[in-house]
Amino acid sequence: MTSPTTTLILAVLLFHFTSTPTSTSSDSNHCGPTKNRDPQNLQPNKITVLINGFSETRIPILQSIAATYSLSPLVSSVLVLWGNPSTPPRVIDQLALNLSFSSDSISLHRNPSSSLNDRFLPRLNDISTDAVLVCDDDVEVDGASFEFAFRVWSANRERIVGVFARSHDVDMNRKEWVYTVHPDRYSIVLTKFMLLKSEYLFRYSCEGGPRMAQMRKIVDSVRNCEDILMNFVVADSTNVGPILVGAKRVRDYGDARNDEGKISLGLSGRKGEHRKNRGVCITEFHRALGRMPLRLFTKHKSVA
């Protein structure tokens, strides 16, 4: 039996499916038939870093994180993806100037909309590497752990490699999928730090037909769950799950409890409604896809 909270969320989703426009993430500017390049032309041993930005208050942290990544010999370029359409032009201009002064490998890109799907746009004119790191503007991983994560990914190029893990589960009483944290298992890695093939950006944004379009609409409706959907996309393509790696030092500026090698649940992990909404996303993605591709893995503490 479906809970009242879940029923309400599903009603909101249904309203948005019939009232909101299709996400721009499938726009022909990004998904034309000639846009999906030959993977053999991509740099195999370099990374493009995609940092999602939205809050003006976090700009100083964002600039610092972008500059740090740009110094790594593994990084080809850093793309700061600004997703807040309400940010004044003067703020955007100053941010672009500051980033360019930091390094000529850093560039600012205004997303075409406020959709969270836009962080996975293929950006085929700007990404020339086989690997991309999708990350948030308030999470910093030490350099040695970053390099270790890339080495792990290089040996497992079809999979997602991440530092922050969550899992799906079943509430047997309510017969619903739920989003949770297990002490010893995981099936999802978060976009706080998500290393994956750039090809998967195209699959997320441009392929999958009506079913994938429906799932991207769910992301737009709840303004959440784009990370879960990417895990669905990759797991559905490969029939394997992500790989979790540890880090010597992680600083999550969005969570005061998270410092120096102690990865906590984050603020969102303490919000019951947040977890419920993400459980509904898992249920709806499962329904749209017609199967559950996520796979549970045992946590192993492998660090650099």
Query: Which residues are the active-site residues?
Result: 227
Q: CB burial class (10 A; 0-12, 13-18, 19+) of residue 205?
A: buried
Among candidates 126, 136, 158, 159, which has minimal Cα distance to 30?
126
- Tokens at 138, concatenated: 């308030």
| Number of Cα atoms under 13 Å in the Cβ half of residue 260 | 0
Rounded to whole angstroms, the Cα distance separating 196 from 92 reads 28
Look up residue 23 and give its DSSP letter.
P
Residue 256: count of CB within 10 angstroms of its CB: 9
Among candidates 121, 107, 118, which has minimal Cα distance to 69?
107
Rounded to whole angstroms, the Cα distance separating 219 from 222 reads 6
Cβ–Cβ under 8 Å, residues 105 and 78: yes
Contacts of 6 (CB under 8 A, 6+ apart): 174, 176, 276, 279, 280, 283
| Number of Cα atoms under 13 Å in the Cβ half of residue 227 | 27
Which three-class secondary structure state does DSSP give residue 47?
A: strand
Q: Say which residue the tokens 């793309």 belong to.
A: 79
